[in-house]
Structure 1
Amino acid sequence: MIKRYQLTTFALLLTGSILRAQTKVAEFTPGAIWPDDKGVHINAHGGGMLYQKGTYYWYGEHKIEGGAGNRAMVGVHCYSSKDLYNWKDEGIALSVSPDSTNDIAKGCILERPKVVYNKKTKKYVMWFHLELRGQGYKAARAGVATADKAAGPFKFIRSYRPNAGFMPIYPEGTAEADKVNCDKPKDKSEGFFCRDLPGGQMARDMNVFVDDDGKAYHIFSAEENFTLDIAELNDDYTGHTGKFARVYAGHQTEAPAIFKHNGIYYMIGSGTTGWAPNPARWFTAKSIYGPWTYHGNPCVGNAAEITFGGQSTYVLPVEGKKNAFIFMADKWTPKNAIDGRYLWLPVTFKGDDIEINWLDKWNLDVFKK
């Protein structure tokens, strides 16, 4: 009887292992439910990626059921993968605080977390857009946390508005008339910049980019979302140096995602229409600070005018493949935030230009090695 029970148990375990193996996927299905290793839809919205020692780490906003799920009730979720298709739940990398006086108190708004690794300090550094609990989108702060391991736990350090008291730098050739003049602001966007100059610039939708020389940059929507700032981080990546440039001033851009290819900096973003999708927009520059050139919408085909229903969050370089970049976007569902979907699509290069086409299903074989 005991042997029969042991054999039955072994058979069930073996069958379960086979079934789990069969559920592994080897393709992307944009907009579909994307189960993790526990069979639960991945909960990492507005996310970013980190590649470290053969493993990809995906960090994003942990959502809950219903409209209140757009507030941070849990924190930042982390997943890991070796192949980009199949993801292991690594748990909560940064937890919100039960202390209502803490900047990241439960119920705050914590969006678009991005993590980079600092080779000098050997620390993992997370930046995110933070709105203080109960204040709507008034605070417009950048928050920073650090960890000793990629999956955390991350320790919150502080939040603030960047570059208080600092004026922007300008690309070579910038006309005097195009520079900020706080004695006589020339437009609404510049007026917001001058208003916020003493206390620091607003920092909402954001990303972080580490250049080839190890310098890191914080890219964020500022000036009531009218302008993007590209700001240098200090050597340990936990603060700003005061060196920054204003990009596409006055044109209301959010959801920035920056990457570099063949010495050219690329940035994809969106307009500002709340949770509703709108046309993506892309830019290029030969220097991180610009001048940046606007190129219009990179998306092509049906529903391109609404970015296939999504909004940019990150552009991921695929390790080990040449010219391989994945456009990552979120398909938001504000009435039930936890049901937000992920739109991952390959970036196609045509010379120095890019295109993003819709694919119902695809895999990494679309990229040449």
Structure 2
Amino acid sequence: MPSSPQIIALILIGLAGLFSCNQKKTAPREAQKTIKPGAERWLDTDGQHINAHGGGIYIEDDTYYWFGEHKIAGEEGNRAMVGVQVYSSKNLTEWTNEGVALAVHGDTKSMLQKGSTIERPKVIYNDKTGKYVMWFHHELKGKGYEAALAGVATADKVTGPYTYLTSRRLHPGVYPKNFTLEQQQLAATALKDTSLKRPELGRVGAYLVRDYEGGQMSRDMTLFKDADGTAYHITASEENQTLHVSELTDDFTKVTDNYVRILPGKRNEAPAVFKKDSTYYLISSGLTGWKPNPARSAKAPTIFGPWEELGNPVRGSEEDLKKTFRSQSTYVIPVLGKQNAFIFMGDRWAPKNPIDGTYVWLPIKFEEENPTLRWLPEWDLSEFD
């Protein structure tokens, strides 16, 4: 006859079996085959909302890697509490979480400490050093947006971990190649004129002169690596009044003295640069904080210009034109295996609860060699066939 402990054990086993039989089996998540711009949830292969805001795509072999800002719930999520997240995909619809590529530091003496600001991380590969190089917009903890630094990190593996190198202002003691002595003198005079407003000061380069010694501001930014292996850093500078395009050094961790101002005083941010055939294209936004505004576009025969403004690339309703489908540009993705196929990559920000931010991806179509965007509630890569 079984002892009391044995009877109790048998009863527990039986109850456990009964309980497990009554549980509903979790159905495997159906693979996502289409892109749904602005969808409330874009789930990764673990069934979690993708957390890679202000992102960019790096492509290696047949795989896309999506780097972006890791957000948390609440307004605290507007600062970097975790770091930069990375996902991988073979088809642009199903994304696997590869973890934190660049982590913030717990050390309060580090510039990259928890609670600082990391925005718009972008990654490129350096063929000479064998390093993956990440640049990002960096603001210091508790300092708002006054630092306006460019941060740099490197890794031996595409998914990281990335080692933080430094954050700095750019080009101290160096003027852009297209900023003449006469313009320098005019800007210095304008800087002393208290009657001038920010747009005019930005147009003439007054902030460029102001920041000459300490280095130029860098906020919203992107990277572009050309076919010849040369890489460039494109950033909103001069109090966000003017974009700067800077050539990177051979190891991609610094800028050279070869840089220019483009679209001076036009107040562009959120730059996304891509190249079709021999023409360079830019999609950007205006300055309205977290609120969406009309997109802008431009093109040039070289990355240093001259840049020709093309106007709003959006085609659609008045609301679409005014708010760019309630999104802001962050990157343009070249599609593998398809010629001259590009995807606009944008964010719908949710500053009160940043983790709820969503993504607007749309195919870029060309009309008279100019990029255009039209709303599609759901689409796939056959759009490029």
Q: Tell me if TM exceeds 0.5.
A: yes
In the alignment of these two chains, the number of paired residues is 357
> Of 130, 140, 147, which residue of structure 1 is paired with 2:138?
130
- Quote the offset at 1:94 in angstroms: 0.3
CA distance in 1, matches of 2:186, 2:113: 38
CA distance in 1, matches of 2:34, 2:184: 48
Query: Is residue 2:338 matched to residue 1:325?
Result: no
> Of 56, 66, 71, which residue of structure 2 is paired with 1:48?
56
Aligned equivalent of 1:339: 356
Query: Is residue 2:189 matched to residue 1:184?
Result: yes
- Quote the offset at 1:167 in angstroms: 1.0
Aligned equivalent of 2:379: 362
Aligned equivalent of 2:34: 27
- Quote the offset at 1:353 in angstroms: 1.1
CA distance in 2, matches of 1:200, 1:233: 16
- C-alpha change, 1:196 and 1:299, in structure 2 (3 Å) is same
Tell me the alpha carbon deviations over residues 79-120 of structure 1, each in whole angstroms, 9 at most, x when there is no partner: 000111000000100000001121111000110000001111
Aligned equivalent of 1:295: 310
RMSD of aligned residue pairs (Cα, Å)? 2.3
- Quote the offset at 1:304 in angstroms: 2.2
Aligned equivalent of 1:216: 231
CA distance in 1, matches of 2:132, 2:305: 28
Structure 1's unaligned 5+ residue stretches are none
Q: How does 1:92-107 map to 2 (within 5 A)?
A: 92-107=100-115
- Quote the offset at 1:252 in angstroms: 1.0
- Quote the offset at 1:176 in angstroms: 8.0
Matched AA of 1:48:
G
CA distance in 2, matches of 1:367, 1:277: 27
Matched AA of 1:279:
P
- Quote the offset at 1:125 in angstroms: 0.3
CA distance in 2, matches of 1:176, 1:306: 39
Calculate the TM-score normalised by the size of structure 2. 0.88
Query: Is residue 2:370 matched to residue 1:353?
Result: yes
Point out the more displaced range, 346-355 or 211-220: 346-355
CA distance in 2, matches of 1:249, 1:78: 34
8 Å CA contact retained: 2:184, 2:209: no
Matched AA of 2:201:
K
CA distance in 1, matches of 2:379, 2:182: 48
8 Å CA contact retained: 2:187, 2:201: no
CA distance in 2, matches of 1:256, 1:337: 21
Higher alpha-carbon Rg:
2
Tell me the alpha carbon deviations over residues 268-295 of structure 1, each in whole angstroms, 9 at most, x when there is no partner: 0000000000000001000110110111
CA distance in 2, matches of 1:325, 1:153: 29
- Quote the offset at 1:185 in angstroms: 4.0
CA distance in 2, matches of 1:352, 1:53: 28
Question: Alignment partner of 1:334: what SS?
Answer: coil
- C-alpha change, 1:178 and 1:353, in structure 2 (3 Å) is farther
Matched AA of 2:64:
Y
Question: Alignment partner of 2:352: what SS?
Answer: helix
Matched AA of 2:135:
W
